[in-house]
Structure 1
Amino acid sequence: MAERKRSTDGGSETEALIGNPPAAPDQSGTAGGALAERVASRDSEKRVTESPDSHTDATKSDKIATNQDVRND
């Protein structure tokens, strides 16, 4: 394997080419939990009116309304 040649002036050529990367996000997930809140409120209403064992999933319209990424169908 070839030897790596180090800079004699102490500068970083990589940093000069691409600059400093932006800071990474502190956490991942949805912002504010709007999607979860929207689905949970519909689920609790459904449990009262229909069946206590019901389960509600997020729909594409829920994701669009809360600005979540959705693929184009």
Structure 2
Amino acid sequence: MSESVNIALILRDIQLMRKKLDEIEEELLKLKVRELEEEEVSDEELRELERLSKETLENGIPWEEAKKELGL
């Protein structure tokens, strides 16, 4: 029984870590978007980048991979 409790605790901790990593990734993406804003992108380009960054986060596509596909 003790072993199953430990496994449940480990699984819960992993889920919490994943959630925190997702939050960190989202904040980093926001910072990247702000950085791009400073490079004077158009409003349309900015909206597209924000949409793509959210989509990559939701679909688990690494942002670096998405940037390569977009030629950024």
Larger helix percent: 2
The TM-score bracket by the shorter chain reads: 0.3 to 0.5
Q: Normalised by the size of structure 2, how large is the TM-score?
A: 0.37
Q: Normalised by the size of structure 1, how large is the TM-score?
A: 0.37
Name the larger-Rg structure.
Answer: 1
